[in-house]
Each structure stands twice: as C-alpha cells, then as structure tokens.
Amino acid sequence: MIVCHCSALSDRTIREVIRRGAHSPREVALACHAGRQCGGCMPVVRELIAIETSGCAGEPCERPVVAAS
C-alpha cells in the first residue's frame, strides 16, 4: 500500500529502510524522503517503525486493548 503519497512510497519500501537501520521518523525521512513534504504519512511511518522494531514484524502481535470511556 502507498504510505507516502507525496513521494509515492509503499509500506514495503519504508519497512526495508527501517530494517536497514532507520529507527526514527527523521532517519526514515532522510533515507527515503517519506514525510519530508506534507508529513501526512508520519503516523503510519511511526507505526511501521514500532512494528518493525518490536520483534514481531511479519507475525500478528497483540496490541493493548484500550477501554472505551
């Protein structure tokens, strides 16, 4: 899926950049330009960083259940 529409970057491309060592939104932006223009993709970039660096990439991870208020 396309994550960064400004730079036409897919989640696969961003995941690969993270796997190669970009572990912050700034590092991802410097490596592949995701988020350098409008920044609308940054929430997804942050989520991909969390997934890829959590040790459960490629597997279903349990997410905390947030109780409705």
Domain-embedded: residue 59: no
Q: What is the pLDDT of residue 66?
A: 47
Task: Write the DSSP assignment of 15-49 as a string of letters.
Answer: HHHHHTT--SHHHHHHHH-TTSSS-TTHHHHHHHH
Token pair 């990439």 is found at 57
pTM over 0.85? The answer is no
- Report how many domains make up the chain: 1
Q: Which domain holds residue 41?
A: 2-53
Domain-embedded: residue 41: yes
Structure tokens of 35?
């988020």
Q: What is the pLDDT of residue 38?
A: 94
Asked whether 48 and 15 are in contact (CB, 8 A), the reply is: yes
* Residue 69 to residue 54: CA distance in whole angstroms: 28
| H or E element at residue 53 | helix 42-53
| pLDDT by residue, tens only, the chain of 69 residues | 999 999 999 999 999 999 999 999 999 999 999 999 999 999 999 999 999 998 766 555 555 444 444
Q: What is the pLDDT of residue 61?
A: 58
